[in-house]
Structure 1
Amino acid sequence: MIKLSKPYITDQCISNVVEVLRSGNLVQGQFVNQLENDVKSYLGVKHAFAVSSGTAALHLALIALGIGPGDEVIVPAFTFPATANVVELVGATTVLVDINLDDFCIDTSKIEQAITPKTKAIMPVHEFGQAAKMDDIIQLAQKYNLNIVEDAACALGAEFGSKKVGTFGELGCFSLHPRKAITSGEGGILVTNKDDIAEKVAMYRNHGIVYKDSKLDFEVAGLNYRLTDFQAALCIPQLEMLTELIECRIKQANFYNDFLGCTSNIKTPVVFDNRKMVFQTYHILLSDDINRDLLIATLKEHEIEVNFGAQALNALKYYSNKYSYKYSDCPNAFRARVQGLALPLGMHLNDADIKYISSTIKKVLCKY
């Protein structure tokens, strides 16, 4: 079976983990510190916090901004539910805005009409490793005095203009899940350039602990969102190879484009001149006459694992029940959910695999 994705775990990754396990120092040790420093250097930010998941990073971001009951947060309708779930967890109101079907990111032309006096933040998602239109989002945030929390879970290394995503807003949140380019198993990174926000993140990440005058105290009811040292140790060699890992994905995406780009019932990913896409996922959009779920099953019979890309939040039971969202409220998100398809990508593949996957898809689609 050609897997949809597979973590790239080197011998050095394994050696690092063994070193930590043998040391007995399993939590918040030297490798966590190194990972945080390496991320700060890579992104050019003042503060980076390794946390237990990308969801934890998003949750901490909203807590650090003081967002809660009575506040509204704008979220793209097409994303993994964690983006909106953390809004619900802090007691705020989720306001969904549709996406566009070129980059699968929030449609910035539709954000302003969703802003109310209760809006406190915009949470753009850099979907599939593609940067959202951050210039438009920054302009709106400044106009209405809104915070920006970037969900860059899929997009470590992606750029808008000459700047890396996750560094535009008050906070940026990354995932280290196994589907991502680099992984710690479960894990995440939260970054910020603001000292006051960093102080709150550090406190809430670790049970509300604060050290003053060499004395420990608990100033808030905090959480345990720490990353273990052996998870950080697993991740560091991959981070050192990130440029190579991204280049591999871009090369494979270009290969897919060569094979699938002229197929009439497939829309391949759009590449923009002023954005660097890192292709966490190679996501195609099928024409409406294609039964996407049947195609998934057929490709599985050919030993190819594929899957849908993300969820249309307006179609999920929780959000449709609570907010009375209908499919028609965010039609692009719904279409992306039912006609989108994620293809295998990563260092576990070679050119022959990409050619086989592409040719098999074209042969199956010829029957439609």
Structure 2
Amino acid sequence: MRLNVPLTGAPEVDAVREVIESGYLTQGAKTAAFEDSIRAYTSARHAAAVSSATTGLHLALVALGVQPGDEVVIPGFSFPATANAVIQQGAIPVFVDIDAATFNLDPALLEAAITDRTRAIMPVHAFGLCADMDAITAVAERRGLPVLEDAACALGGTYDGRHAGTLGTAGVYSFHPRKIITTAEGGMITTDDDTLAARISVLRAHGAVRGELFMEFVDAGFNYRLSDVHSAIGLAQMTRIDEIVSGRRRAAAALTSRVAGIAGVQAPTEPAGTAHTFQSYVVRLDDDIDRDEVIRRMRTRDVETTLGTYGMHLQPYFRERFAIPDAALPETTRAHHQALTLPLYPQLTDDDLDTVAEALRLSVWESPRR
């Protein structure tokens, strides 16, 4: 059983065929329509399609004025693309530990991480669960800092009724095949800031402004555009986003009811006022359970699993460059070793969920204790 299977079919195939037959493949009308669909869905004022969430984060940091040597505060527990986007701008990621229950940046630790070189705060909505944005934005406003949401996993998630990606200065979604909707590869930046949106638009396409007859290049920009081929897939996906999100939430609730009684396994949490997308269904194993051995044993039962995500300070590049001791990020370190992602997607049947839960129960029971 695979970890994730995108919900795609004939509408996506037909959408791609239409673009190919049109002869116009690069960023064009389909991309504009895809941006419109994200604006309508999230109520964001602006949306700019980009080639990936990683390029979207980088582009947003550039547009926000982050310079080499500046600092950007991020959670320690995330896919390394979060930190990579900061480093690509020549800036310095400052890792903050996470809340043990939510896997999100712990806002109680945020103030202490801010220095006179801090230029932005970049929370991650881990696995589709919104971070504690009221607490984070309160600190940001007090310190005069923009908040860039890494909402890669969170399209369709909400916080007090507002969409993830619209809670800060700007937000970035991912459309990788493991995310909520897919364009194969791609991303989207959302913002309500007119000036920021205009700068993103220029920087996204080589720093160019189109005149009556040709383009003028007013900045040293990037080629971070999304093609109409990818956008056509995204448009087809957006027609079923409510089905996808509700299907993931239904499957998550059903899986939680099955794993809740397994000794040593802590199911995901959903704080009041939030709606989790469950882009990934991540449990936490007790500290005496060998998570990696559980992954191996699940594999023998033909159930694909993986770690939750990465304690970035534990990865070779970040460890060698920043030398952050494990004790400085204790919950991040623990989550890196004990979080486990289980299969979850709308197509799973009740029998499939039974199989996942039983495989987990047996694999945890068989795994040697530390």
Query: TM-score over 0.5 for the alignment?
Result: yes
Instruction: Judge which range, 205-214 or 219-228, deviates more.
Output: 205-214
Q: How do 1:1-368 and structure 2 match up within 5 A?
A: 2-212=1-211, 215-368=214-367
Q: 1:109 deviation in Å?
A: 0.4
In structure 2, the residue corresponding to 1:181 is in which secondary structure? coil
Q: 1:211 deviation in Å?
A: 2.4
Q: 1:302 deviation in Å?
A: 0.8
For structure 2, which runs of at least 5 residues remain unmatched after alignment?
none
**Runs of 4+, deviation exceeding 3 Å:** 212-215
Q: How many Å separate the matches in 2 of 1:139 and 1:235?
A: 34
Q: How many Å separate the matches in 2 of 1:224 and 1:365?
A: 47
TM-score between the two structures when normalised by the length of structure 1 = 0.98
Q: 1:94 deviation in Å?
A: 0.9
Contact 1:173/1:188, CA 8 A, preserved across alignment: yes
Q: How many Å separate the matches in 2 of 1:33 and 1:364?
A: 48
In structure 1, the residue corresponding to 2:306 is in which secondary structure? coil
Q: How many Å separate the matches in 1 of 2:212 and 2:21?
A: 33
TM-score between the two structures when normalised by the length of structure 2 = 0.97
**Can you list the C-alpha shifts for 1:281-300, whole angstroms capped at 9, x where unaligned?**
00000111211111111111
In structure 2, the residue corresponding to 1:147 is in which secondary structure? coil
Contact 1:292/1:339, CA 8 A, preserved across alignment: yes
Q: 1:319 deviation in Å?
A: 1.7
Q: How many Å separate the matches in 1 of 2:9 and 2:212?
A: 42
- Identity within the alignment, %: 37
Give the alignment's Cα RMSD to 1 decimal: 1.1
Contact 2:56/2:188, CA 8 A, preserved across alignment: yes
Q: 1:212 deviation in Å?
A: 4.1
In structure 1, the residue corresponding to 2:226 is in which secondary structure? coil
Q: How many Å separate the matches in 2 of 1:137 and 1:366?
A: 39
Q: 1:213 deviation in Å?
A: 5.3
Q: How many Å separate the matches in 2 of 1:159 and 1:95?
A: 26
**Can you list the C-alpha shifts for 1:228-284, whole angstroms capped at 9, x where unaligned?**
101111111211111111111111111111111122200110111111111000000
Q: 1:337 deviation in Å?
A: 1.0
In structure 1, the residue corresponding to 2:147 is in which secondary structure? strand
Q: How many Å separate the matches in 1 of 2:78 and 2:137?
A: 20
Aligned residues: 367
User: Which residue identity does 1:228 align to in structure 2?
Assistant: S
